[in-house]
Amino acid sequence: MFRHDKFDTGRLKGKILDIGCGQFKLEGAIGLDWFDYPGVDVVADLDKPLPFEEGEFDVVYSNQVYEHISDLIKLITEVHRILKPGGFMVASVPYFRSSWAAIDPTHVRQFTINSLHYFVEGTLENANHEFTKTTFGTVEVYLDSNYGNNPFRWLFTRLALRWPYVFENSVLSFLFPFQTVTYVLTKPAN
């Protein structure tokens, strides 16, 4: 009854790129990282164009990477370029209230529930601030996908996702800080 929605990793099918995989690449994925760790297939600078063809991947996945990127708009535009129509990007990052968001000196940004809505057509954020012509068609947001279920997590997740600006600017976000936010942005099929 008190289960909060979590990202279903069973959706990771087809040709997958794991950006920033480090030594823990997703099974069956092509691993890309800044450094040549064991298991990394492609070493590349994420501040430059990605070394892949347009429409090459079904899924572009990243875990704890986007908070390190200095030009996020450029990287998301590149991810959009290399995704097939109907493909999707999964990005898991520290939530801005989490101590993990501030503890790492290499983090250059923090993320709220609506941070990636700027890249999704039809959202208030995209309508008011068009940073790029490249847009995704839909966005899904999951909070604390890697944590267990309990009544408090269920309640606060529902409140936060329903009214993100109210929740994040109130004492509630201090009382129950989430640890991670996961975004799933889908490239339009046409």
Instruction: Indicate whether 109 belongs to any domain.
Output: yes
Helix (H, G, I), strand (E, B) or coil at 139: strand
- Report residue 152's pLDDT band, with 50, 70 and 90 as the boundaries: confident
- Residue (of 48, 60, 55, 52) closest to 21 by Cα position: 60
Instruction: Indicate whether 39 belongs to any domain.
Output: yes
Instruction: Indicate whether 21 belongs to any domain.
Output: yes
What number of residues does the chain have?
190
Position 84 pLDDT exceeds 80: yes
CA dihedral sign, ordered 109, 185, 145, 11: negative
The whole-angstrom separation of Cα 184 and Cα 47 is: 21
> What percent of the chain has a predicted confidence (pLDDT) above 70?
97
CATH number of the domain bearing residue 32: 3.40.50.150
- Report residue 99's pLDDT band, with 50, 70 and 90 as the boundaries: confident
What is the number of domains present in the chain? 1
Q: Residue 32's pLDDT is what? A: 97
Range of the domain at 96: 9-186
Cβ 137 vs Cβ 120: under 8 Å:
yes
Instruction: Indicate whether 2 belongs to any domain.
Output: no
Q: What's this model's pTM, rounded to 2 decimal places?
A: 0.92
Helix (H, G, I), strand (E, B) or coil at 187: coil
Instruction: Indicate whether 4 belongs to any domain.
Output: no
Instruction: Indicate whether 75 belongs to any domain.
Output: yes
